[in-house]
């Protein structure tokens, strides 16, 4: 009998890495559908384009490394990275943003460390942070929900705006950010953060049309879609509960404390839970089996650390959302977390 040694991720079930990655992608579909419904076709176009670039880049790197191409392409890890990047970037971001992000994720964040199972950080989040810091204007040009948009964007308009910079009628992505009342709109988290610094109270900010009954219009449904997809993965045992529960519980507790202390100056727990990339991060990003903590207690601590960092960055940091930064900072702490949460050796007194 041959004894094969392979790098992580190691799944304790009969599913292959290919099947696990494919299932994760399928479970993303509810959140993606909600995102497309409220913010247009740009997200779907970005996902398709990013996936193609990711698979092509993976194949090219395997060719350069003189490794067999098809086994690595077919494991769907590169495809999942492309899907996550396509979800994370704004719907009408220029095509070259997607190309830079995907190539950086595959080449630098993944294969520079040796490939799947060797990367220290989540490749999609590394790419997102690099793009956000390098191209802040393009990476913050999110559209208002379709119901509030002054100029609805069709599939053809989205395609033209991504690859040419303008729609059929000559509108740029920046111009399309205008709402029906002519006000240029930002994301709910950005709107809340900016408005609070100008002296408005939380109640006054939440009266703006971009906010719905729970959180931002559209964003609450997007997060609900990713929550349902995450629960499906838990039911199928694709992921374990430690990291999502640790992250969401910590975010809920610390945001509740902040809201109790200063209800007019901070966001409520529901806004934090159902805004931005909270549910996407909790179930689809932080649970990356390669870059996350490995022990049960360590995973809870890892998730809780992300939740705390997300709240701190959203409340006092320079960016409206902090999921990507929280995940990467927690990735840095994984060796320390695993060291201090090692299970006691069997039989050791």
pTM (whole model) above 0.75: yes
pLDDT in tens, 207-244: 888 888 888 889 999 999 999 999 999 999 999 999 99
> For residue 182, what pLDDT band results from cuts at 50, 70 and 90?
very low
Residue 211 pairs in a beta bridge with 216
C-beta of residue 180 within 8 angstroms of C-beta of residue 150: yes
Average pLDDT, the chain: 88
pLDDT in tens, 256-291: 999 999 988 888 999 999 999 999 999 999 999 888
Mean pLDDT calculated for residue range 72-95 = 92
178: left (phi over 0), alpha (psi -120 to 50) or beta: beta
Is 4 strand, coil or helix?
coil
Q: Is the peptide bond before 9 cis (omega within 30 degrees of 0)?
A: yes
């Amino acid at each position: 009998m041959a004894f094969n040694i392979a790098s992580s991720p190691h799944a304790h079930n009969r599913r292959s890495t290919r099947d696990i990655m494919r299932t994760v992608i399928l479970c993303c579909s509810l959140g993606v559908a909600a995102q497309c419904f409220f913010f247009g076709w740009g997200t779907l176009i970005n996902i398709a384009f990013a996936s193609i670039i990711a698979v092509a880049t993976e194949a090219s790197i395997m060719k350069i490394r003189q490794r067999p191409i098809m086994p690595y392409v077919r494991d769907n890890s590169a495809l999942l990275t492309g899907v996550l990047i396509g979800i994370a970037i704004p719907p009408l971001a220029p095509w070259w943003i997607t190309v830079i992000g995907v190539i950086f994720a595959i080449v630098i964040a993944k294969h520079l460390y040796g490939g799947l199972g060797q990367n220290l950080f989540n490749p999609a989040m590394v790419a997102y942070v690099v793009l956000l810091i390098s191209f802040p204007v393009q990476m913050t040009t999110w559209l208002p929900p379709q119901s509030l948009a002054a100029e609805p964007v069709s599939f053809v308009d989205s395609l033209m705006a991504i690859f040419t910079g303008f729609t059929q009628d000559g509108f740029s992505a920046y111009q399309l950010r205008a709402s029906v009342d002519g006000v240029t709109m930002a994301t709910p988290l950005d709107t809340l953060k900016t408005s609070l610094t100008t002296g408005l109270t939380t109640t006054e900010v939440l009266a703006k049309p971009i906010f719905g009954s729970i959180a931002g219009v559209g964003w609450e449904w997007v997060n609900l879609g990713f929550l349902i997809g995450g629960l499906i993965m838990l039911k199928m045992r694709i992921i374990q509960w430690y990291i999502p529960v640790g992250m969401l519980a910590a975010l809920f507790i610390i945001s509740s404390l902040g809201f109790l202390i200063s209800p007019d100056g901070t966001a409520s727990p529901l806004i934090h839970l159902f805004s931005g990339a909270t549910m996407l991060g909790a179930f689809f990003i932080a649970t990356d089996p390669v870059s996350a903590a490995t022990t049960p207690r360590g995973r809870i601590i890892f998730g809780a650390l992300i939740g705390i960092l997300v709240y701190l960055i959203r409340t006092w940091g320079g960016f409206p959302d902090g999921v990507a930064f929280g995940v990467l900072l927690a990735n840095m702490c994984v060796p320390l977390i695993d060291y201090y949460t090692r299970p006691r050796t069997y039989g050791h007194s």
